[in-house]
Amino acid sequence: MSVMKNICIVKTGSTFSATRADHEDFEDWIINRLDRTQSTPFTVNVQGGDALPDLSQCDGIILTGSHSMVTDEDLWSQKTAQWLKDAVHQEIPLLAICYGHQLLAKSLGGVADYHTEGMEIGTVEIHLTDYIQDDLLFSELPDSIFAHTIHSQSVLELPSDAVRLAYNSHDHNHAFRIGKCAWGVQFHPEFSKEIMDSYINEIAKTEKFDADKKLSLLQRSQETRESNALLKKFESIVCLY
Q: How many CB atoms lie within 10 A of CB 109?
A: 14
Catalytic option among 101, 190, 235, 239? 190
CA 65 – CA 150 distance, rounded (Å): 10
Please state, as a whole number, how many other Cβ atoms lie within 10 Å of the Cβ of residue 240. 10
Annotation says 58 is catalytic: no
SS3 168: coil
Question: Is there a catalytic annotation at residue 23?
Answer: no
User: What value does the CA radius of gyration of the chain take, rounded to a whole number of Å?
Assistant: 17
Cβ neighbours of residue 221 under 8 Å, at least 6 residues apart? 122, 123, 148, 193, 196, 197, 200
Q: What is the Cα–Cα distance from 213 to 219, expressed in whole angstroms?
A: 10
Q: Rounded to whole angstroms, how far apart are CA atoms 221 and 159? A: 32
190 flagged as catalytic: yes
Q: How many helices (H) and strands (E) does the chain have?
A: 7, 11
Contact 97, 47 (CB under 8 A): no
Query: 98, 101, 148, 181: which one is catalytic?
Result: 98
Give catalytic residues, as residue numbers. 98, 188, 190
